[in-house]
């Protein structure tokens, strides 16, 4: 089992925000995040709309990719930069305004209560506003990732998370652009196999009618996640005990929340 340090003091927690063509929202998201954390790192993933320029004058670190490398590589770059600067924990959130930075204290409180865990800000309230195809894709991914991890994960696709830095030092790095949205799922499985589980913190599901289309492609990216999980399950003989544990935990969770 990975030895994970307790939640660090706020000055040793970094927030990493990957951003690709988010000129319309990035400045507000970064400003609100900076009000919650002393170290904010925005990774401009080869944007063509001036995303990085919108951050001029803000007290945040901006890392720029010379080309679009995908969310996984941008997250990894920001995480490694934060760890090199001494961060003992990393919070990640998206740049499109779907996550409220004001929920960061709630995530940190959960991490303080469960120091040996990843914390996922899980979009379990107000899901009626979510696009049906996106909601179906998320539930499909939840099933497969919960199976491979061996416990129930109610929102495996939320990018709003808390990671202990010690855990990130031991997970498998993303393998280029192909990892894209599968990387965050891989981290959950890698961590589970090292004895570190995730804990959900309930937040609102926010989808705006005027928002730009999501970079997540419900069919293609979900298929990539399922294929990644299937390969890992094959390595473990399909891990039937993991499926049993995940289904039992899901039933218990739904019984409590019903």
pLDDT tens digit sequence for 186-222:
999 999 999 999 999 999 877 544 455 666 667 778 8
More confident residue, 245 or 205: 245
Q: How does pLDDT run across 88-102, given as a tens digit for each residue?
A: 999 999 999 989 999
CATH 3.40.190.10 fits 10-257, yes or no: no
Percentage of the residues of the chain whose pLDDT score is greater than 90:
74
∠ Cα 120 227 81 (to 5°): 45
Strand order in the sheet with 39-45: 61-65, 39-45, 13-19, 89-92, 161-164, 118-125, 198-204
More confident residue, 225 or 217: 225
| Tokens (6 digits) for 211 | 């928002």
Give the per-residue pLDDT at 134: 78
CA-wise closest residue to 110 among 4, 33, 203, 199: 199
| Tokens (6 digits) for 217 | 């492609």
Average pLDDT over residues 32-59: 97
Q: How does pLDDT run across 152-186, given as a tens digit for each residue?
A: 999 999 999 999 999 999 998 998 766 777 999 99
Give the per-residue pLDDT at 1: 43
Give the per-residue pLDDT at 108: 96
Show me where the domains of the chain are located.
Answer: 10-257
Q: How does pLDDT run across 102-132, given as a tens digit for each residue?
A: 999 999 999 999 988 999 999 887 666 667 8
DSSP per position, the chain: ----PPPPPGGGEEEEEEESS-TTTHHHHHHHHHTT-SEEEEEEES-SS-TGGGGTTSSSEEEEESS---HHHHHHHHHHHHHHTT-SEEEE--SSS-S-GGGHHHHHHHHHHSTTSEEEEEEEESGGGS-HHHHHHHHHHHHHHHHHHTS--TTTT---EEEEHHHHTTSPPP-GGGTTTHHHHHHHHHHHHTT--EEEEEEE----TTSPPPS--HHHHHHHHHHHHHHHHHHTTT-HHHHHHHHHHHHHHHHHH-
Give the per-residue pLDDT at 126: 63
Average pLDDT over residues 225-247: 95
Give the per-residue pLDDT at 135: 84
According to DSSP, the β-strands at 118-125 and 198-204 are parallel
Give the per-residue pLDDT at 220: 79
Give the per-residue pLDDT at 258: 64
Place of tokens 């919108």: 54
| pLDDT of 3 higher than 70 | no
Q: How does pLDDT run across 137-150, given as a tens digit for each residue?
A: 889 999 999 999 99
């Amino acid at each position: 089992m990975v030895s994970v340090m307790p939640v660090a003091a706020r000055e040793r927690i970094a927030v990493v925000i990957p951003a690709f063509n988010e000129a319309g929202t990035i400045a507000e998201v970064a400003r609100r995040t900076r009000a919650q954390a002393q170290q904010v790192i925005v990774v401009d993933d080869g944007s063509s709309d001036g995303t990085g320029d919108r951050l001029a004058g803000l007290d945040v670190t901006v890392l720029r990719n010379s080309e679009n490398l995908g969310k996984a590589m941008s997250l990894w770059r920001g995480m490694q930069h934060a760890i090199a600067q001494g961060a003992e924990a990393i919070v990640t959130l998206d740049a499109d305004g779907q996550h409220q930075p004001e929920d960061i204290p709630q995530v940190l409180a959960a991490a303080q209560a469960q120091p040996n865990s990843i914390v996922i800000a899980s979009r379990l309230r107000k899901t009626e506003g979510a696009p049906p195809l996106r909601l179906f894709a998320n539930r499909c991914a939840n099933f497969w990732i919960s199976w491979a991890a061996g416990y129930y994960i109610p929102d495996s696709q939320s990018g709003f998370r808390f990671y202990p830095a010690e855990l990130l030092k031991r997970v498998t790095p993303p393998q280029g652009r192909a990892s894209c949205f599968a990387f965050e799922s891989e981290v959950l499985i890698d961590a589970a196999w090292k004895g570190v589980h995730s804990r959900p913190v309930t937040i609102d599901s926010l989808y705006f009618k005027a928002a730009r289309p999501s970079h997540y492609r419900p069919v293609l990216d979900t298929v990539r996640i399922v294929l990644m999980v299937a390969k890992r399950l094959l390595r473990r003989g399909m891990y039937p005990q993991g499926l049993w544990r995940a289904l039992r935990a899901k039933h218990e969770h739904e019984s409590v929340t019903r």
